[in-house]
Amino acid sequence: MAGGVTAVSAPAFYPYLNAGQLQGLIGGMKGAAEYETILETSGTASRGMDAQSIAHGLIIFFILFANFFYLLGKRRKK
Protein backbone atom coordinates (compact mmCIF):
# COMPACT_ATOMS: atom_id res chain seq x y z
CA MET A 1 0.00 0.00 0.00
CA ALA A 2 1.21 3.50 -0.80
CA GLY A 3 -0.14 6.87 0.21
CA GLY A 4 -0.49 10.28 -1.32
CA VAL A 5 -1.22 12.90 1.31
CA THR A 6 -1.10 16.66 1.80
CA ALA A 7 2.22 18.16 2.85
CA VAL A 8 0.86 19.12 6.27
CA SER A 9 -0.18 15.57 7.14
CA ALA A 10 2.85 13.79 5.60
CA PRO A 11 4.96 13.79 8.82
CA ALA A 12 2.22 11.83 10.59
CA PHE A 13 2.59 9.02 8.02
CA TYR A 14 6.39 8.61 8.19
CA PRO A 15 6.20 6.14 11.14
CA TYR A 16 4.04 3.86 8.97
CA LEU A 17 6.52 4.20 6.12
CA ASN A 18 9.48 3.43 8.39
CA ALA A 19 7.68 0.41 9.90
CA GLY A 20 7.03 -1.00 6.43
CA GLN A 21 3.27 -0.66 6.66
CA LEU A 22 3.41 1.74 3.70
CA GLN A 23 5.54 0.91 0.68
CA GLY A 24 5.64 4.49 -0.55
CA LEU A 25 4.53 7.98 0.40
CA ILE A 26 3.91 11.00 -1.80
CA GLY A 27 3.96 14.02 0.47
CA GLY A 28 2.26 17.11 -0.90
CA MET A 29 2.50 18.80 -4.25
CA LYS A 30 6.30 18.56 -4.21
CA GLY A 31 6.11 14.79 -3.83
CA ALA A 32 3.56 14.54 -6.62
CA ALA A 33 5.76 16.67 -8.90
CA GLU A 34 8.76 14.46 -8.10
CA TYR A 35 6.67 11.39 -8.94
CA GLU A 36 5.69 12.98 -12.26
CA THR A 37 9.39 13.57 -12.94
CA ILE A 38 10.15 9.90 -12.28
CA LEU A 39 7.35 8.93 -14.69
CA GLU A 40 8.73 11.47 -17.21
CA THR A 41 5.36 13.18 -17.57
CA SER A 42 4.24 16.74 -16.93
CA GLY A 43 0.95 17.01 -15.09
CA THR A 44 -0.92 19.28 -12.75
CA ALA A 45 1.56 18.86 -9.89
CA SER A 46 4.47 20.11 -11.99
CA ARG A 47 2.47 23.10 -13.15
CA GLY A 48 1.28 23.69 -9.59
CA MET A 49 4.88 23.74 -8.33
CA ASP A 50 5.69 26.50 -10.82
CA ALA A 51 2.87 28.63 -9.45
CA GLN A 52 3.76 27.78 -5.85
CA SER A 53 7.42 28.73 -6.41
CA ILE A 54 6.42 32.09 -7.88
CA ALA A 55 4.08 32.74 -4.96
CA HIS A 56 6.81 31.90 -2.43
CA GLY A 57 9.24 34.17 -4.27
CA LEU A 58 6.74 37.03 -4.12
CA ILE A 59 6.18 36.50 -0.41
CA ILE A 60 9.94 36.62 0.24
CA PHE A 61 10.22 39.76 -1.89
CA PHE A 62 7.43 41.53 0.04
CA ILE A 63 8.95 40.55 3.39
CA LEU A 64 12.34 41.95 2.35
CA PHE A 65 10.69 45.05 0.86
CA ALA A 66 8.73 45.76 4.05
CA ASN A 67 11.76 45.19 6.28
CA PHE A 68 13.84 47.56 4.15
CA PHE A 69 11.35 50.40 4.60
CA TYR A 70 10.88 49.57 8.27
CA LEU A 71 14.63 49.85 8.89
CA LEU A 72 14.82 52.99 6.74
CA GLY A 73 12.06 54.63 8.79
CA LYS A 74 13.69 53.54 12.03
CA ARG A 75 17.01 55.09 10.92
CA ARG A 76 15.34 58.43 10.04
CA LYS A 77 13.81 58.76 13.52
CA LYS A 78 17.27 58.82 15.12
Tens-digit pLDDT profile for residues 20-50: 999 999 999 999 999 999 999 989 998 999 9
pTM, 2 dp: 0.69
When pLDDT is averaged across residues 4-16 and rounded to a whole number, the result is: 95
Residue 42 has a pLDDT of 87
Q: Which amino acid type is present at position 47?
A: R
User: Would strands 24-27 and 2-5 be described as parallel, antiparallel, or unpaired?
Assistant: parallel
In this predicted structure, the answer to whether residue 78 has a pLDDT above a threshold of 70 is no
Taking only the tens place, the pLDDT of each residue in 48-63 is 999 999 999 999 999 9
Maximum separation of any 2 CA atoms in the chain, in Å = 63
